[in-house]
Amino acid sequence: MSSLSKWILTGLGWAIGGPIGAILGYLLGNAFSSDDSSPSYSSSYFNTSSHRGPYRNTGTQSDINVALMVLIAAVMKADGQVKKSELSFVKRFLLQNYGEEGGKQMLKALQQLVQQDIPIDQICLQIKVNTDYNTRYHMVDFLFGISGSDGEFHQSELNMLRLIAQYLGISQSDYLSIHERHIPGSNNNAFSQSHNQKDPYKILGITKDATDDEVKKAYRKMALKYHPDRVAGMGEEMQRNAADQMKEINEAYELIKRLRPGIK
């Protein structure tokens, strides 16, 4: 078995089937073509109609990592170029999840992935029926971090991120909260008069006319999303991203409390 196939296949469950499995089959086919001693895999092994049921995280962290890698490839190729800053960001993620040798092999797989057509709707459907909402939410948050790793967001990448969020079933308020934290000043309101100003209400997933009780409830809901226990099995990079986003949420809540003395 080739080195690439060793790292891709290790620990996989639901990701071995469906459209993700078909993509993996292509990558492994390329790896096997240069390794005559490698075993062949029948087309049924990567059957695109398998694993359609609502399994809800019965797979492994490897399933989530591989699925995330496919989504990363879709975002990276959206603007027609793969930037060095994005590769560096992703490389850290892969090295931390797969180690030195595994990370290098997975990076090779990613470089092949960005050259392929990715059926993003089908990929997201497979992820959606096999993972819970919290996992998908943090996937989207992490993808925003990759897209903005070069200090700017291209419209083509934002369009892809919006599509991914929609296909993964992320709510509008959650999507706008993630968007506002990563891309400040995206709305015309009192808190967005400059490019660097963030709307604290939108960060909490609410509007300015929310009651004090609604503000407190929204903060508790966001804090629960980013509790360390909710991201404990998602790898160091995603845990670090969650910690950074929790700081943003705390700052937004503190700002609102200063504006609203009635909130204790």
Give the 3-state secondary structure of residue 193.
coil
DSSP code at position 14? G
> Is residue 193 predicted with pLDDT exceeding 60?
no
Of the pLDDT bands very low, low, confident and very high (cuts 50, 70, 90), residue 169 is very high
Q: How large is the average pLDDT for residues 168-178? A: 91
> Computed from CA positions of residues 137, 139, 143, 146, in that sequence, does the dihedral angle turn out positive or negative?
positive
> Is residue 140 predicted with pLDDT exceeding 90?
yes
CA 151 to CA 135: how far, in whole Å?
A: 25
Q: How large is the average pLDDT for residues 164-178? A: 93
CA 224 to CA 115: how far, in whole Å?
A: 38
Contact at 8 Å (CB) between 38 and 32? yes
Of the pLDDT bands very low, low, confident and very high (cuts 50, 70, 90), residue 36 is very low
Contact at 8 Å (CB) between 10 and 97? no
Distance of CA 44 to the CA centre of its chain: 28
Q: How many other C-beta atoms can be found within 10 angstroms of the C-beta atom of residue 42?
A: 8
| pLDDT for residue 219 | 93
- Higher-pLDDT residue of 2 and 40 is 2
| pLDDT for residue 211 | 93
pTM: 0.76
| pLDDT for residue 2 | 55
Token readout for 213 is 């009780």
Q: How large is the average pLDDT for residues 28-54? A: 44
Q: How large is the average pLDDT for residues 31-60? A: 43
Contact at 8 Å (CB) between 124 and 167? yes
31-45, 106-120, 121-135, 142-156: segment of lowest average pLDDT: 31-45
Of the pLDDT bands very low, low, confident and very high (cuts 50, 70, 90), residue 171 is very high
- Nearest by Cα to 148 from 175, 117, 184, 116: 184
CA 98 to CA 6: how far, in whole Å?
A: 11
- Higher-pLDDT residue of 56 and 5 is 5
Of the pLDDT bands very low, low, confident and very high (cuts 50, 70, 90), residue 170 is very high
> Is residue 37 predicted with pLDDT exceeding 70?
no
| pLDDT for residue 227 | 83
| pLDDT for residue 115 | 85
In tens, the pLDDT along 70-125 reads 999 999 888 777 777 777 778 877 777 777 877 787 888 888 888 888 999 999 99
Domains, the chain, with CATH or none: 1-41+59-132 (no CATH), 171-264 (1.10.287.110)
- Higher-pLDDT residue of 183 and 158 is 158
Contacts of 91 (CB under 8 A, 6+ apart): 103, 107
